[in-house]
With several copies, the nearest count.
Chain A
Amino acid sequence: MEKEIKEITHVTIRFAGDSGDGMQLTGNIFGDTTALVGNDLSTLPDYPSEIRAPAGTLYGVSGFQLHFGSQEIYTPGDQPDVLVAMNPAALKVNLKDLYPGAIIIVNEDAFDQKNLQLAHFESNPLEDGSLSQFQVIKVPITTLTLNALEGMGLSMKEMTRCKNFFVLGLTYWMFDRPLEPTINWIKEKFGKNPKIAEANEKALKAGYYFGDTAEIFTMRFSVKPAKLEPGIYRNIMGNEAIALGFVAASKKAGIPLFQGSYPITPASEILHELSALRNYDVITFQAEDEIAGICTAIGASFAGGLGVTTTSGPGFSLKSEAMGLAVMAELPLVIVDVQRAGPSTGMPTKTEQGDLLQALFGRNGEAPIPIIAAKSPADCFNAAYEASRIAIKYMTPVIVMSEGYIAQGAEPWRIPNPEDLPEIEVNFAKPEDFQETKFQPYLRNELNVRPWAIPGTPGLEHRIGGLEKRHITGEVTSDPANHEFMVKLREQKIQKIADEIPPQEVYGDPEGDLLVLGWGGTFGAIRDAVNRVRAKGYKVSQAHLFYINPMPKNLGEILHNFNKILIPELNLGQLAFVIRAKYLVPVYQLNKIQGLPFRSSEVENKIYELLGVK
């Protein structure tokens, strides 16, 4: 029976099952294949903080969501159109997120009494009619996988493990994706274990053919390739992109990269990535704590390296004092804060934007630090690179704000040509330049930047530290006028960066009824929402901040060109607070503090509310 193929522009699918069901892998491979056929996409894993929760439990459910389409895709999708649920717990946990009318593919085999009970179902939802608003497709996935692998001489455990490839095959059939890339991947990955490779391939094909032949599927979908900017692409996770951004910056600058970090969710992958790049002159130092992490990085910068330190909220708090030292010492340093839900330990695996004001102000005394915020997984590369560039050029610590949501999410990245990246010039002070006078560590150039003189250079011996220093000479002093001068100079040095950063762009018209102003990972949800309301003809535009300190010079002007300003944030209104203080303009807020990203519909609805549209 030939089945109808319906063309759709985009679709959101979520794979959900036990931690042991391999849903992360399934999602990732599905993503790779989807990218290869030319769709734009965005992915987001969502796993429990327990390492291996007992099978079948609600808190043990691991999910992976994927949004792909023939148009530009900005988020991993609001609500899944398709849910694959490997057991009752996975169904229970995800049900509330689905579109009404969504397709649910369930592993029928897993709906036994024990699992139903573990998932706190009082009756079997596959039978009690409670799913009537959805299109439920019951597939005995375990049985079918076992059948397919019968006689291969594999253990029960080994066979059951293959069921995620069965699911993958089934969804490939549904969305008309090719099998070859995955078959090749399997062969490479399991090269050392041909039997397992064969089994996975068999399961994959079994899933695909099951879709084709079973009577229960009436519909297939096809998603045409997206029109993306030409180039070579790869998928990239936010944390990976940060790592690559740092390596790129250090290579362009021609200095070694030093990362001093302490593991913490959801930032650890930056450490993992970089620790594998020893041949790139990358030194990763797993420090005893976050304070040692930043302090080793400061030492590294003093010695002529690009010092970076990466962490999440609790660790970011611990670095406060040392950030002040970096401000005083005026050394390049990049601090990455991959935000997670706070306060305190909070909800470690959940996303949030709660650390903005801490990044701006969380240090004793007047200690200004530039801040850059990444808007998406791929943008993390730009953020890390630009932060490094500014840190080196201005001899200053720079903070990069990321979020669990984009750190763990992935999207296609148009791979840049290394030659096209902005130059990063390093001018270590040279003995020749100081033959007339003694070396003066706080002499400044036209940008108020002091020289970087590194140990090992004869004749430039000097001392720096956290005490206030005399202008030019760097001697320790508590001269009142000098202190005021230096405090202002440090502030001005940072504000002056605004002279070179690009003006803030506005997406949509430069003036109108409403401007949606955002920062960080809310970008995609806002863009989708703005696109939708603009499509209906409303005068709504978007401005999304990459530079948070200093802000682009034209931002004030932009704000005054709109009747209303809406700032959606995953916090209680931190950017809103800053905008009000800086520009004295009233702003509307949309705040969500649930450990979850915005749905674009949430932003959209708020826009309508502010426009007075019912």
Chain B
Amino acid sequence: MTTIAPEVKYTPKDFQSDQDVRWCPGCGDYSILAQVQRTLPLLNIRKEDYVFVSGIGCSSRFPYYVDLYGFHGIHGRAPAIATGIKLVNPKLSVWVATGDGDLLSIGGNHFIHACRKNIDLKILLFNNRIYGLTKGQYSPTSELNKVTKSSPYGSVDYPFNPVALAIGTEATFVARSMDRDPKHLQEMILRAGQHKGLAFLEIYQNCNIFNDGAFFHLTEKEYKADNVVYLKHGEPLIFGKENDKGIRMDGMTPVVVSLKDGKWSKDDLLIHNEFNEDPAYASMLAHMNEKPGLPTPVGVFRQIYKPTYDEMLHEQIRKVKEKKGEGDLRKLFFDATTWEIK
């Protein structure tokens, strides 16, 4: 990430390209685009130092719509392409815009390896739990028994929990947000952009054509308060329409308690610690909503710092140069037993 401040202050308009946006009217991708365009000006990065890389999918059309350096790659390979970019020029701020099929189906291997290596990429996963561009097959995040074009009798695939998978790789920044919560989404994009190391942000995104309403139980007014808990560092986990419910740890198990009946107070609740180094803590949060009655967490599950791959690589280059001197072609050629023929 470049640290040199841009000479000019940017506005969202600076990040809008001249291309017609070709998503379906009503698609959640529009909101994500808008929030990215609103957030980038807040990062201390020059426009020309951003690169957006994507694979293939509706979501992967993203780079065309931001007026930045962009690479619309091939299906699933965006993390690899982005890695090459970042390693050659570590000053760039390299982002991956991808879908649940692109990143987690065909691209799964590159994803887990980028996480493992802590390459300084920002990965925005547009998770609509469906293959949009190919017109509606189930994806690795679709729920079991899902009826789609390729599963007319219901799929027999258990879904990935992308946040849990990322935590399994020990990714250094793992967060979740929703297309229909613009403020929160902006905050998460900002946080991802500021993180030094691999930042993984899962964004629940509505595909109103092939999977409409997949997240309405989390995003729509009538359900949201009871089904979503916002993770905030240093604060207790509280949710509910009247902020009347909290999460308490019963040993290693999170449970919901009422704050109304006087039995439990805020002080009894789990206080969120983003910086907990133990992946098991974030894993507990990631699996929370699989238990009946527990809400889905959004926010930053985990943020830790450890040297990034690109840092260590370039540090190694620096050290070797220090020790051996700048590489000299002639020296290299002659670095063997030689003899002369006259």
On A, residues with C-beta under 8 Å from B are 32, 35-36, 38, 49-55, 57, 59, 181, 225, 228-236, 244, 247-248, 251, 256, 258, 260, 262-265, 268, 271-272, 275-292, 295-305, 307, 314, 321-322, 324-325, 329, 344-345, 414-418, 454-467, 475-476
Contacts and interface: CB of A to CB of B under 8 A. Distances in A.
A314 B75 contact: yes
A296 B110 CA distance: 10
Given A286-B150, A321-B74, A455-B92, A299 B85 contact: yes
Contact of B49 (A276, A282, A288, A455): A455
A462 B70 contact: yes
Interface stretch (B56-64, B185-193, B251-259): B56-64
B47 interface: yes
Contacts of A288: 105-106, 108-110, 113, 140
Contact of A418 (B56, B80, B329): B329
A340 to B, nearest CB: 12
16 contacts: A232-B338, A247-B332, A260-B84, A265-B134, A268-B137, A271-B150, A288-B110, A291-B77, A303-B86, A305-B88, A325-B74, A345-B75, A458-B48, A461-B69, A463-B72, A464-B70
Contacts of B23: 50-51
A307 B84 contact: yes
Interface string B65-77: 0011111111111
Contact of B326 (A52, A234, A279): A279
A284 B150 CA distance: 9
A296 B70 contact: no
Interface string B298-342: 000000000000000100110011011111011011101111111
B165 interface: no
Contacts of B71: 299, 302, 329, 463-465
B327 A281 contact: yes
Main secondary structure, interface of A, reads: mixed
B8 to A, nearest CB: 11
Interface string B128-150: 00011111011010000000011
Contacts of A225: 341
B102 to A, nearest CB: 11
B333 A289 contact: no
Interface of B: 17, 19-20, 22-25, 46-51, 53, 56, 58, 63-64, 67-77, 80-89, 91-92, 105-106, 108-110, 113, 131-135, 137-138, 140, 149-153, 155, 157, 209-210, 313, 316-317, 320-321, 323-327, 329-330, 332-334, 336-342
Contacts of A268: 134-135, 137, 149-150
A50 B21 CA distance: 10
Contacts of A414: 341
A51 B24 contact: yes
Contacts of B70: 461-465
B126 to A, nearest CB: 14
Nearest to B325: A279
Contacts of A32: 337
A275 B150 contact: yes
B10 to A, nearest CB: 12
B182 to A, nearest CB: 22
A467 to B, nearest CB: 7
A458 B47 contact: yes
A235 to B, nearest CB: 7
B327 A279 contact: yes
Which 7 A-B pairs give the minimum distances between C-beta atoms?
A299-B84, A465-B72, A280-B327, A295-B80, A52-B24, A296-B84, A463-B70
